[in-house]
A and B are shown apart, each in its own frame.
Chain A
Amino acid sequence: MSDSQRLNRNEQPPRRKLPFAIISSAALAAMLALSACGTEAQAPAEAAQTAPAAADAEASAGTPAPAAEAPAAESDDAATAAVREGAQKMKDETSKFQEALTAKDDAKVKQLSGSINDLWLSYENTVRDQFPLLYTEVEKYEMPIFSASAYDKMDYASLTDNAGKLQGALDNLLTAKQTSAAASEVLAQAVDGYETYVREQTDLFVKETQVFADAVKAGDIEAAKAAYPTSRTYYENIEPIAESLGDLDPKIDARLPDVESEEQWTGFHRIERALWEDGSLEGQGKYADLLMTDVKALQAKVSELKLEPEAMVAGAMELLNEAATSKITGEEETYSHTDLVDLAANVEGSKAVYFAMIPALNDGHQELADQLDKQFQTMETTLAQYNKDGQYTLYTDLKTEQIRELSDQLSQLSELMSQTAKIL
């Protein structure tokens, strides 16, 4: 990509980024622990050398640094300077945000979460181009912070945690240096990053499923109902991986029509029926135990997971296909009607693949990356409309036109995702 193109990206009007669902942001917060520090960040000591950009924090964020500050007039240098400038401004804003958190000032917290997001939008494209791994790092802490602005109830503990981590990610960005990696290396990195994500999601899945299983065994219907969508989110994030690992998926996730006879039916949906249709957990303890056995078996397999790039890319497609077939039709959650939770999780899971692929996409497929970025935002914006304080609207409360809109947007996302095989 040419220099002027790269700089022009800064001039794109900021995209409107809407709050992410809490469930999604939980998944995102567990996103790729891409080893950002090792590959792209310089030692803090070197940060001093880059002080000019940071010191000039009064300049408006998002515009390339003036030529005077990039004497070599190298566009990469200019872009890097712009990134540092943006990172510094965002750090300052985040500090104010942290003060507001300490003061428990709801109004101020909301206002600052918005302005942090505005700052991020003003230069995130440049970050994605220049430092793709750090991009996902910032994004995963920035998003839950911005999500908070839409909610009535503030979760101060998690916001404080995220703000601290965002500061760390921004520190890395401040000292970031261009690296150039061979294509095969980039792809290997992408797969590594995604494998880490899958393992983290699986661990969370086991943890949350335990909460669910305990509630089922205790006969606590309300607690079990509350834990059900949460635990399923983590499964739906990584579903194609689970499906590729032996016969665990049907044991964990089969619906009644999927099995030959009802006697063979185990897993989440069996208990779902007991919870929402029978209104009784009588006799469900054994299914809860079986579920935990299967879920832990999955975890053991995932810990040894070694993915090929093809499988990773195909997995992102499968997630969207899942969403576009069983979720959008309301067939997945026949009794609880929490299909949107699964759908959002499928989208989230495919976004994780997208994030992992950004470095590879940056190598000659930037237009596709831009389109995917935009389409994920569109999809998330639409999904956010159906999310109130972390709870998704029930499928049965959606109007036909609303389902159609989601379906159309999913089709568009799938269409784009199907092109990502170009990186292979």
Chain B
Amino acid sequence: MNNGDDTVKRSTEEPGAKKGYTRREMLKMSAAAGGGIALGASGLGAIMKMLGTTEAPPASSGGGAASASAANERLDFYGEHQAGIVTPQQTYMYLVGFKVTAPDRKTLVGLLRDWTRFCDLSTGGSSAVEAGGRLLPPSDSGESVDLPAARLSITFGFGPSFFSQDGQDRFGISAKAPKYLQDIPRMPKDRIDESLSGGDICIQVCAEDQQVAFHAARNLIRLSAFTASVLWMQEGFISSPPGSTPRNLFGFKDGTANSLHDSSAGYDDVVWCGDDEPSWMRGGSYLAYRKIRMLLEVWDRSSLKDQEDTFGRHKDSGAAYGRSGEFDAVSPAELPADSHVRLAKQDGAQMHRRAYSYTGGIDARTGNVDAGLLFLSYQRNPDKQFVPMLRLMSRMDKLNEYTAHIASSLFACPGGWKPGEYVGQRLLEG
């Protein structure tokens, strides 16, 4: 089905789309069409290339630090691994949770195809704008039409309920559930708001331009109208000079330890799932998500010493106690027993951190700012690399005086997509 013929057939269906394709790719992404169009991403890509419409700069598979030209850079949606995991962090993120309402697998596949098509276009810097006439709603909301790809990445993960919900195997995939996917157990001091947690599908959208990122999140939601129901959406930001570790809203560097596995072999050890997982999950990773409210006002009234004792690092340099450089090996004995970094080292597990800060409004009762951290970590085995550390931190971490965990989810992010394949195809059809 994924061939050019389908594309041509489609284009003749819509009178307005006969004029030929431009960079503003004419494509019907109307949800009304549902899964009726079996156009594969490769078919579309082929057409675009054929017509010389892909003028975007060559894709980068990640690696380069954010720079002045980052706004124009295009990340490849396809590859061995999904983009947006070990990709150097973009400045803006949206994280969206969905509940699948589709009655059957066929409808679900229709949505995944529509999403794939949208991702293919938008990560390539195109818009899915269709000329449907002035009397119809535009197929794409349009706010990104004049904007570049901006290192847009769109990363998909599946939650435990996707595979089995109340004992029901809705999509016939429970036998292919990944090894370690289950809800994160309740932790001491948890203040989890269920309405902000969980879901069948999670999409992480990141870009250097917030408008580009939001455009993607918004249109992915719109495309899901007949198949899924959006449960929650979070937005985050993070910023640092190129090559530097970003700081969280407590002013401390967040993610220093990522440097420890910053190599292909390191990612294999820490991030990417291997042969012990179902084939669709190989090259994938588990996304652990915690929304952590930070009590900024309390923190800001704490002495610098208290703040540094809490982390076990110096605020300015990021160096651990007893060391002088941010990346110098930590000597746990020199850190306070309940400090964040000491507990992390004590646990010993490594994970790949990809956190973003968030801000909300003001708590009208207290005047306090609603803000904090969207903790995101990717790992190949959450049972070993995430849950034990979370438990230890929840019990002991001095940071708990200044934080509250209010959302919690675990998602299995499949290995990367091949051109022509739809998101999740190897899981649903493999």
Partner-B contacts on A (CB < 8 A): 310, 313, 367-368, 371, 404, 408, 411-412, 415-416, 418-419, 421-422, 424
Contacts and interface: CB of A to CB of B under 8 A. Distances in A.
Contacts of B229: 404, 408
Nearest to A416: B32
A421 B31 contact: no
B225 A424 contact: no
A404 B137 CA distance: 24
Given A371-B32, A415-B31, A421 B226 contact: no
B94 to A, nearest CB: 20
B135 A310 contact: yes
A370 to B, nearest CB: 11
B325 interface: no
Contact of A368 (B31, B32, B101, B133): B32
B30 interface: yes
A407 to B, nearest CB: 9
Interface of B is mostly: loop
Contacts of A411: 225
B136 interface: yes
Contacts of A313: 135
Contacts of A422: 133, 136
Interface string B216-242: 000000000110010000000000000
Contacts, number: 31
B101 A408 contact: yes
Which one of A310, A368, A371 has the highest number of Cβ atoms from chain B below 10 Å of its Cβ?
A371
A421 B136 CA distance: 6
Interface residues of B, number: 13
Given A310-B135, A424-B135, A415 B36 contact: no
Interface string B69-108: 0000000000000000000000000000000010000000
Contact of B34 (A371, A421, A424): A371
Given A367-B36, A371-B34, A408-B101, A421 B225 contact: no
B166 to A, nearest CB: 15
Contacts of B30: 415, 419
A194 to B, nearest CB: 17
A107 to B, nearest CB: 33
Interface in B107-157: 133, 135-137
30 contacts: A310-B135, A313-B135, A367-B36, A368-B32, A371-B32, A371-B34, A404-B229, A408-B101, A408-B225, A408-B229, A411-B225, A412-B225, A412-B226, A415-B30, A415-B32, A415-B225, A415-B226, A416-B32, A418-B32, A418-B136, A418-B137, A419-B30, A419-B32, A419-B136, A421-B133, A421-B135, A421-B136, A422-B133, A422-B136, A424-B135
Interface of A is mostly: helix
Contacts of B137: 418
Nearest to B30: A419
B177 to A, nearest CB: 26
B230 to A, nearest CB: 9
B169 to A, nearest CB: 23
A288 to B, nearest CB: 41
Contacts of B31: 415
A310 B226 CA distance: 26
A313 B101 CA distance: 28
Interface string B358-370: 0000000000000
Nearest to B231: A404
A260 to B, nearest CB: 27
A218 to B, nearest CB: 46
Nearest to B101: A408
Contacts of A424: 135
A23 B30 CA distance: 33
A15 to B, nearest CB: 13
B96 to A, nearest CB: 15
Interface string B385-407: 00000000000000000000000
Interface in B280-335: none
B232 to A, nearest CB: 12
A139 B164 CA distance: 40
A404 B30 CA distance: 22
Contacts of A412: 225-226
Contacts of A368: 32
Nearest to A417: B32
Contacts of A416: 32
A46 B216 CA distance: 61
A367 B37 CA distance: 13
Nearest to A423: B135
